[in-house]
């Protein structure tokens, strides 16, 4: 087997390696292509034909749709070990959303025809994929409902905690979203996001140095997220 397809620390190991024999794994490996993207670069364009089964190997990306006026609506943010093509890949011939890099990112791309062929032959693989798709859909729905039930300050607090505890695992990080993108994600205006961040800074909850956010009082931020 191609040594470049070892899939260490990758969910492809769980999804493919354990479930496929060497012959079928060789099919996956021989068709695997890694692609690099710079911050802001489009990875998937809404309306384009689906040809790859894509997996985020490193970096951070946003999945979003654009309305007729060009305004973006962010669906979710994907981090390493997430599939970036599951939402449309088996339900349509074209992508129903776009994906762009929030930071320098690398995707692992597999041939769609290879994946479809393996699914037809391997029921366990098909069930694993269905489970992953369900978890992605559940996460998007639950996050959306959680954000919608909060007031303005609570939404911003929720997003900051998400980046701190789910994405970067630290209280100090470079915010990967612009203020406009934050507003699109939580359903607010850009002005409201800017004002809320300013209030958090004045209240000593945050320290802000350009794009760098330092959470100075996590307890207060968590309280605002929960009750705000």
Reported pTM: 0.81
Q: pLDDT value at position 112? A: 84
Q: pLDDT value at position 29? A: 73
Walking along the chain (228 residues) 10 residues at a time, the average pLDDT comes out as 52 59 71 90 92 88 86 86 76 88 91 83 78 80 85 95 94 95 91 96 95 96 91
Q: pLDDT value at position 5? A: 59
Q: List, in order of start, the domains of the chain with CATH numbers.
A: 34-146 (2.60.120.10), 150-227 (1.10.10.10)
Q: pLDDT value at position 53? A: 85
Q: From the CB of residue 20, how many other CB atoms can be counted at a distance below 10 Å? A: 18
């Amino acid at each position: 087997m191609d040594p470049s397809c070892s899939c260490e620390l990758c969910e492809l190991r769980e999804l493919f390696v354990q479930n496929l024999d060497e012959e079928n794994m060789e099919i996956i490996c021989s068709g695997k292509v890694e692609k690099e993207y710079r911050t802001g670069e489009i990875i998937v364009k809404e309306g384009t034909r689906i040809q790859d089964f894509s997996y985020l190997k490193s970096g951070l990306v946003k999945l979003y749709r654009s309305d007729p006026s060009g305004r973006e609506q962010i669906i979710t943010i994907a981090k390493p070990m997430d599939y970036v093509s599951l939402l449309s890949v088996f339900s349509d011939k074209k992508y129903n959303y776009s994906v762009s890099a929030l930071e320098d990112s690398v995707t692992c791309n597999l041939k769609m025809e290879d994946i479809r062929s393996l699914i037809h032959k391997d029921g366990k693989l098909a069930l694993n994929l269905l489970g992953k798709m369900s978890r992605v859909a559940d996460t998007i729905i639950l996050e959306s409902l959680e954000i919608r039930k909060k007031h303005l300050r609570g939404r911003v607090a929720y997003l900051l905690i998400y980046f701190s505890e789910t994405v970067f695992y630290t209280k100090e990080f470079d915010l990967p979203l612009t203020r406009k993108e934050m507003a699109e994600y939580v359903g607010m205006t850009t002005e409201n996001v800017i004002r809320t961040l300013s209030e958090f800074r004045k209240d000593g909850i945050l320290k802000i140095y350009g794009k760098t956010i330092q959470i100075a009082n996590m307890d207060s931020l968590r309280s605002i997220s929960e009750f705000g």
